[in-house]
Structure 1
Amino acid sequence: MTVTEIAAETVVAACGIRKRFGDNVVLDGLDLDIRSGEFVALLGRSGSGKSTFLRALGALDPDFEGELRVPERRAIVFQDPRLLPWQRVLTNVTIGLPATAAVREQARVALAEVNLADKAKVWPRTLSGGEAQRVALARALVREPELLLLDEPFGALDALTRIKMHALLIALCRRHTPAVLLVTHDVDEAILLADRVIVLTDGAISLDVNVDVPVPRVRDSHEFASLRRRLLAELGVAEEVQL
């Protein structure tokens, strides 16, 4: 395993990434480049290696074979916001950063960006699910990451809250311009958010396609529906069930 930190047009360069758990090969020679400012969605069936690859990118699991080049500044947002219940919201945003006035001010700015400026002093238990996930986004963005890793961050939210979070994420990414890797099971979410969608099958990339859907993206457009059918077919899912 080799991990090299880079800061160039190619933000992520993965070559021959291989990961096994016992006899089970989860990643099988995966090759992937992600450019600066590019939003990539990663789809795949359960067990295809999506979260395993994200954990390698985030240095949460260094036990893999192959070469991986990533930027030094990275941040991860999980499905669970993972807020410390015994710390107030502002402190949760600054966890792991120097306890300085400048950092606290940056955290307040980040909370304002996710529309939670008035929640800085509250306890996490008082937040709704969507608010807690916005705090997690603020915690990631205050680090000004070159690479933002999202592991199904909206999977536990209701449909209306997810729509609002999608719009917020798009606005934040335009403002901060990180490279983004989003792991998701939701094909529509991938098309709505990403510049490029990748499908993992048995630990390797089986499809890598640009999202050429006009903005603003709407589900009933021809381009959206066509790409949706293609992605579902690659995932082995029938779009219509005959009764």
Structure 2
Amino acid sequence: MATDPAPRAVIAHDVRKSFGDDQVLSGVNLEIAAGEFVALLGRSGSGKSTFLRALGALDSEVDGYIRVPAKQAIVFQDPRLLPWQKVLTNVTIGLPANAETKAKAIAALGEVNVASKAKVWPRTLSGGEAQRVALARALVREPELLLLDEPFGALDALTRIKMHGLLQELHGRHLPAVLLVTHDVDEAILLADRVIVLTDGTISLDAAVDLPRPRSRDTTEFVTVRKRLLRELGVSEESPAAP
């Protein structure tokens, strides 16, 4: 007997976006199941962030059909913390000012291991700490869809590794659907259930990442997936990251 397909957190059909005569998205079709982790790769200018902004309702001038959950959150490369508000207030901004919200925010800061920073100013945080606060701000909203636009791109290599582990823990605990925009092929393979490659505004590859977790860059299977993605991106197979 056939089973019902997994519920879809994202349905995008024939999504198009132009800037003047430049068509950045040329009919993108994508579905993301509830709880699924999808990474979106592509060269600079391929439309990755434009598509993410369309899903996040940050750009209303987009053609096509998009259905996403009402409960969603976005984390950018820049943590975008308000410097005139302390960390706890940054996490709760826009939410009801009550004891329940405060308790949820403190719990979220605890989940990302910066509970001790609740009463400090953002300027005192390291880059990794600031990005953890940005994740806490997203988590406290209990999103069904988490949109990540190169959230670790500005971090040093060691901090990125730590943030990868943290994101995997948080995803396993809360199970939102995730769309991660990244330039880093290894990051996509380490984290995602599926990797999408966007080329000239359309999806040129949609590949499941059927590797056991935790994943290691040193395995033959990992290297095989990396080579396939790099070929699709048109870069040297010896390079560990997309341009």
Partner of 1:233: 231
Partner Cα separation in structure 2 for residue 100 and residue 126 of structure 1: 26
TM-score by length of 2: 0.95
**Structure 2: 5+ residue stretches without partners:** 1-5
Partner Cα separation in structure 2 for residue 130 and residue 139 of structure 1: 14
Deviation at 1:62, TM superposition (A): 1.1
- Measured against aligned partners, the alpha-carbon deviations of 1:187-223 in whole angstroms (never above 9, x if no partner) come to 0000000000000000000000000112110001111
- Measured against aligned partners, the alpha-carbon deviations of 1:1-23 in whole angstroms (never above 9, x if no partner) come to xxxxxxx8101000000000000
Contact 1:212–1:223 under 8 Å retained in 2: no
Indicate whether 1:49 and 2:24 are aligned. no
Partner of 2:137: 139
- Measured against aligned partners, the alpha-carbon deviations of 1:92-144 in whole angstroms (never above 9, x if no partner) come to 00011011111011000000000011110000000000000000000000000
Partner Cα separation in structure 1 for residue 53 and residue 106 of structure 2: 28
- Measured against aligned partners, the alpha-carbon deviations of 1:165-201 in whole angstroms (never above 9, x if no partner) come to 0000000001110000000000000000000000000
Partner Cα separation in structure 2 for residue 9 and residue 71 of structure 1: 11
Residue correspondence of structure 1 range 83-122 to structure 2 within 5 A: 83-122=81-120
Q: Report SS of the residue matched to 2:78.
A: coil
Q: Report SS of the residue matched to 1:165.
A: helix
- Measured against aligned partners, the alpha-carbon deviations of 1:64-101 in whole angstroms (never above 9, x if no partner) come to 11100000001000000000000000000001101111
Partner Cα separation in structure 2 for residue 85 and residue 65 of structure 1: 36
Partner Cα separation in structure 1 for residue 193 and residue 51 of structure 2: 19
Partner Cα separation in structure 2 for residue 215 and residue 133 of structure 1: 24
Residue correspondence of structure 1 range 54-203 to structure 2 within 5 A: 54-203=52-201
Partner of 1:32: 30
Deviation at 1:238, TM superposition (A): 0.8
Partner Cα separation in structure 1 for residue 90 and residue 234 of structure 2: 41
Partner of 1:3: none
Partner of 1:220: 218
Partner Cα separation in structure 2 for residue 240 and residue 115 of structure 1: 36
Partner Cα separation in structure 1 for residue 59 and residue 233 of structure 2: 26
Moved over 4 A (4+): none
Partner Cα separation in structure 2 for residue 215 and residue 102 of structure 1: 35
Give RMSD over aligned pairs. Answer: 0.9
Contact 1:16–1:66 under 8 Å retained in 2: yes
Partner Cα separation in structure 2 for residue 108 and residue 132 of structure 1: 15
Deviation at 1:240, TM superposition (A): 3.0
- Measured against aligned partners, the alpha-carbon deviations of 1:18-51 in whole angstroms (never above 9, x if no partner) come to 0000000000010000000000000000000000
Partner Cα separation in structure 1 for residue 36 and residue 206 of structure 2: 14
Quote the sequence identity (%).
Answer: 75
**Structure 1: 5+ residue stretches without partners:** 1-7
